[in-house]
Amino acid sequence: SRRPSIYYRPINPNDLDRLEQIHRDIFPIKYESEFFQSVVNGVGIVSWAAVDRNRPGGYSDELIGFVTAKFVLAKESEIDDLICYGSSQGEETLIYILTLGVVETYRNHGIAMSLISGVIRYASGLSLCRGVYLHVIAYNNPAIRLYNRLMFRCVRRLNGFYLIKRQHFDAFLFVYFVKGS
Ligand code: ACO
């Protein structure tokens, strides 16, 4: 089989069906169609896709991984207490990662690592952005290892944060602070 050639690009409206399908396949939580519309149209959401340019059968531009995120005002976020405010009059922002996923056959190649590094690089280039944060379900060890490896800090354990099939699960809140904030 051919060697994958992973390429990163923005998500666009042609990705809609595939994006919905992967979310359905890999997340225990249901996302509404408004969410996917916002992602593919870039309405209030920033996102990146990974594709395999060597994927045969006309699939060389089909999503095999993605990360979606949104901007949050730092002072309105749940980590308001962890932010050092400067002279920007409360205009500081954070990027909140909504979803991250890589299809199973493409895992363990560093694709998630590259996607999250891209988010960090993007955040670091924004003068008012203080960091990147996210929630992860407490039993998701592959994701937790990834965030630890990328120097995110686990700042909280939230009791019963997720409700899945009438069962509560804890979440960890991970933060990556940019520019020494
Ligand atoms: N060769 C061999 N191993 C490698 C290579 C390589 N070239 N590159 C990375 N690896 C290893 C890493 O060291 C890591 O090892 P570890 O798990 O033993 O620590 C492992 O591969 C995974 O790292 P990545 O390849 O960067 O991650 P991957 O692309 O496999 O995606 C993810 C990880 C996103 C968690 C994936 O498992 C997934 O989609 N899971 C289901 C959805 C999910 O849980 N998403 C995150 C939820 S949290 C949120 O969305 C905010």
> What pLDDT sits at residue 82?
94
Domain count across the chain = 1
% of the chain with per-residue pLDDT over 70: 98
Atom 19, ligand 1: residue with shortest CA distance: 145
| Reported ipTM | 0.97
Pocket lining: 134 vs ligand 1, CB cutoff 6 Å? yes
Q: Is residue 120 part of a domain?
A: yes
Per-residue pLDDT, 31: 96
Does 108 map to a domain? yes
Q: Is the dihedral of CA 160, 173, 15, 62 positive or negative?
A: negative
What CATH number did the domain enclosing 155 receive?
Answer: 3.40.630.30
* 1 found inside a domain: no
Contacts of residue 85, defined as CB under 8 A and 6 or more positions apart, other chains included, come to 74, 75, 92
3-state SS assignment for residue 4 = coil
53-111: pLDDT as tens digits: 999 999 999 999 999 999 999 999 999 999 988 888 789 999 999 999 999 999 999 99
Which atom number of ligand 1 is nearest to the Cα of residue 107?
Answer: 30
Whether the CB-CB separation of 59 and 18 falls below 8 Å is answered with no
Q: What is the pLDDT of residue 77?
A: 97
Looking at residues 7-17, what average pLDDT do you find? 97
State which residues form the domain around 103.
Answer: 6-177
How far, in Å, is the centroid of ligand 1 from the Cα of 6?
A: 15
Predicted local distance difference test score (pLDDT) of residue 180: 55
